[in-house]
Amino acid sequence: MQLSSCKCFRETFVKSEDFVAQKIVVTKDSSRGVHFRRAGPREKVYFKSDEVRACVVTCGGLCPGINTVVREIVCGLNYMYGVNDILGIEGGYRGFYSKNTLKLTPKVVNNIHKHGGTFLRTSRGGHDTNKIVDNIQDRGINQVYIIGGDGTQRGAALIYQEVAERGLQVAVAGIPKTIDNDVAVIDKSFGFDTAVEEAQRAINAAHVEVESVDNGVGIVKLMGRYSGFIATIATLASRDVDCCLIPESPFYLEGTGGLFEFIEQRLKENGHVVIVLAEGAGQDYVAQDMHAFEEKDASGNRLLLDVGPWLSQKIKNHFTKVQKMAINMKYIDPTYMIRAIPSNASDNVYCTLLAQSAVHGAMAGYTGFTVGPVNSRHAYIPISRVTETQNTVKLTGRMWARLLASTNQPSFVTDNEALNGEKAAGINNVEISTQS
């Protein structure tokens, strides 16, 4: 079996013995660490073009670039392998069993990458492994492309297992989607760059607002349930932020070294302060303060308490009542305005690579894998690898150190806590043998 139509990749076939190293900063005697199969076109193709019936589904919240990934899966299958039978599953996992499918062709998807959102529509939850695999079997689908976040990928792993147990020749490929960039193993998730770019607008607005008044306090809430990547990188990109609060780094308000003290000091120095706040920051603190109980959404994600208004109110109260100091609070929540925009050029290229890697992998007969760059080289990674842990901002890492150097904000933690915190959270520093 062979690549059906495109000779472009002839010089660039990936050999089955090509691997990507997870660890590349090395000392002379360090072990070679975990390696993943390199993604890319294989000389040997498992599926015949005219036997392929592929389907694509998108699940969970919006993220810039979903449409580009969908477009490039369709175009990749069609242009590179001559596949003509591609179905869109509409409205997330439940679309497998509750809705009609949509025929996808390069023409149908030609311009969707210029628009935000997802052309295939989406939903949370709705994962019923048996009903989904029944449907896959009934429709004669043999390639399943699943674009979605953490919960979605766990669902994809279940589909892969069920498919395997039933002995079906179906390739299951996951493309990890999380605007938060909290996917383990891979360098970066798609849409992240676009999100950081768009977040600049909100930070700029907050900065302009607080610079124009006395004692201006600007708070910008950004995405990041369990990881503060968007908040961290958006802060570094802006240079107008005084303090960045993320889930990985607990903070406190009162007393020496607390946030109130820091705000007061900046107001005295500069007359204004801008705080960037990841949505998952301080959740335990907020819950404790609000005597709240934990709830979950349809995807199984813990429902977060809204830290933005809570913090705004806390700060307002403190300065008005305790400090007798009038402050001008400007709170901005740009979440939907960030999620809904089309992907920028950089993410478009990235989404193309992800989609093409997924297509090459499925066509080569791999299954139960996700795709993504590891140290800037695209690789195939077992789904379980990316769902078993989450990527978080390392408080002892270079990026966070750069942020602290740039904002000069309080660290809120002792060095010991930082180290222990990371060990306790079981952060992704696995050192296991190569897998396929």
| Residues contributing to the annotated binding site for Mg(2+) | 150
Binding site per annotation, positions: 61, 124-125, 149-152, 178-180, 223-225, 279, 336-339
The site map against a second copy for 217-236 (x = CB under 8 A) is: ----------------xx-x
Dump the DSSP string for 143-156. Answer: EEEEEE-HHHHHHH
DSSP, collapsed to helix, strand or coil, labels residue 310 as: helix
Task: Please give the residues from 387 up to 426 whose contact with a second copy meets the rule CB under 8 A.
Answer: 396-398, 401-402, 404-406, 408, 415, 418-419
DSSP H or E run through 216:
strand 216-222
Give the shortest CB-230-to-a second copy separation in angstroms: 10
Give the shortest CB-34-to-a second copy separation in angstroms: 13
Q: Which stretch binds a second copy (CB under 8 A): 69-77, 129-137, 164-172, 273-281?
A: 69-77
Indicate which single residue of 87, 157, 183, 196 sits in contact with a second copy (rule: CB under 8 A). Answer: 196
Helix axes 229-238, 192-211, angle to 10 degrees: 60
Binding site per annotation, positions for substrate: 178-180, 223-225, 279, 336-339
Q: Output 294 or 415, the one with its CB closest to a second copy.
A: 415
Residues 186/373, Cβ–Cβ less than 8 Å: yes
Contacts of 274 (CB under 8 A, 6+ apart): 203, 206, 207, 210, 218, 219, 220, 240, 241, 242, 243
The site map against a second copy for 281-320 (x = CB under 8 A) is: ----------------------------------------
Indicate which single residue of 65, 148, 228, 334 sits in contact with a second copy (rule: CB under 8 A). Answer: 334
d(CA 53, CA 30): 45
Task: Please give the residues from 343 up to 382 whose contact with a second copy meets the rule CB under 8 A.
Answer: 344-346, 348-349, 352-353, 356, 375-377
Give the shortest CB-317-to-a second copy separation in angstroms: 17
d(CA 7, CA 388): 38
Residues 159/129, Cβ–Cβ less than 8 Å: yes
Helices (H), 318-410: 335-339, 345-363, 383-387, 398-407
Q: Which stretch binds a second copy (CB under 8 A): 166-174, 210-218, 243-251, 259-267?
A: 210-218
The site map against a second copy for 132-171 (x = CB under 8 A) is: ----------------------------------------
Distance, C-alpha 51 to centroid of its chain: 33
Q: Output 334 or 361, the one with its CB closest to a second copy.
A: 334
Give the shortest CB-140-to-a second copy separation in angstroms: 27
Q: Output 79 or 310, the one with its CB closest to a second copy.
A: 79
d(CA 58, CA 66): 8
Q: Exactly one of 50, 128, 180, 289 is catalytic; name it.
A: 180
Distance, C-alpha 57 to centroid of its chain: 17
d(CA 367, CA 182): 23
Task: Please give the residues from 14 up to 53 whose contact with a second copy meets the rule CB under 8 A.
Answer: 15, 17-21, 24-28, 35, 38, 40
Residue 428, interface with a second copy (CB under 8 A)?
Answer: no
Helix axes 345-363, 192-211, angle to 10 degrees: 160
Q: Output 325 or 401, the one with its CB closest to a second copy.
A: 401
Residue linked to tokens 């005597």? 291
Q: Output 348 or 387, the one with its CB closest to a second copy.
A: 348
d(CA 291, CA 407): 32
Backbone angles phi and psi of 302, in degrees to 5: -55, 130
Q: Is there a catalytic annotation at residue 180?
A: yes
How many C-beta atoms lie closer than 10 Å to residue 107's C-beta? 9
Q: Output 164 or 336, the one with its CB closest to a second copy.
A: 336
Q: Which residues are catalytic?
A: 180
